[in-house]
Each structure stands twice: as C-alpha cells, then as structure tokens.
Amino acid sequence: MEGILETLGKEVADFGIHVTAVEPGSFRTDWSGRSMIRAPRVIADYDELFEPLRARRIHGGGHQPGDPDKATAAVLRIVAADRPPTRLLLGTDALRLVQAGRDAFERDMPAWAELSASTDFDDVGRSA
C-alpha cells in the first residue's frame, strides 16, 4: 500500500494534491472487541501462531496505547499542512514495529545486494 500511495502522490503532485499514508498502531477503539465479527477458523495449522494474537486482541481492548482523539488531531494537522508527509505513523507501537522492519531491511539489503544486481540485463558488448 505504501508503494501504491507513494506513486499516486507523485502522479497527482502537479495538481496540488498531496497523498499521505496514515499507518496507525493500536488505538483504544472497539474494533477488536465486541464489534469484531470473527470468522470461524478453518485451518488449524495456524492456531499456534494466531491464538496468542487473538487472545491479545480480545483481552487487550481498552488497554491499547493509542488515543483516538489525539490521532484525529494528528490527521487534521497533516490535512492542514502545506507539505504533509508521505507517510504518517500514529502511536509508539507503530513507530516501534516500522523501525524494526526498517532495521531488518537495512541488514538484508547489503547482504543480498549482489544477488539483487545480478538480475539486470547484461547489455555489455551488445550493439544498440
């Protein structure tokens, strides 16, 4: 989604349109509580991985770090900004998760750069 929104932002920039991907962490809303409709599980192989996640969602309601009112104020702030960000993370948990992903990417990219570069056409010695 980030890539699609970043590309869209570049395509519409000349029209004075700004595009921001808002990426929230966990907020104290009821989305994971009584308002969530859960589909029955059909693949038991995933239970070991997902059961702890499900339990945290069910029992974590009302304890998430994010304040919805502050998130609303943050979004309104970027809507009014002359130069809003391409991406806006909301919440310390979102910051932590995205930073961990970026750190992993920064470790992997140089380790695999040679393989990445090896997929280009080899045009050396060919006539145009």
pLDDT digits (tens, 9 = 90+) for 54-78: 777 776 677 788 899 999 999 999 9
Residue 78 in any domain: the answer is yes
* Structural domain count, the chain: 1
The single residue listed with the structure tokens 């308002």 is 35
The candidate with the shortest Cα–Cα distance to 99, out of 29, 44, 25, 45, is: 25
Q: Residue 50 falls within a domain, yes or no?
A: no
- Please calculate the CA angle 38-40-45 and round it to the nearest 5 degrees: 115
Residue 49 covered by a domain: no
User: Is residue 72 in a domain?
Assistant: yes
- On whether the pTM is more than 0.75, the answer is no
**Residue 81 structural domain:** 2-29+64-117
d(CA 15, CA 24): 27
Helix (H, G, I), strand (E, B), or coil: what is residue 116? helix
CA 23 to CA 124: how far, in whole Å?
A: 43
| 124 in a structural domain | no
Residue 115 amino acid letter:
L
Q: What count of other Cβ atoms lies within 10 Å of the Cβ of residue 8?
A: 13
- Per DSSP, the three-state class of 91 is coil
Position 74 in a domain:
yes
pLDDT tens per residue across span 67-109: 999 999 999 999 999 999 999 999 999 999 999 999 999 999 9
Is 15 contained in some domain?
A: yes
Interatomic CA distance for residues 34 and 36, integer angstroms: 6
Question: Is 101 a domain residue?
Answer: yes
State the chain's mean pLDDT as an integer. Answer: 88
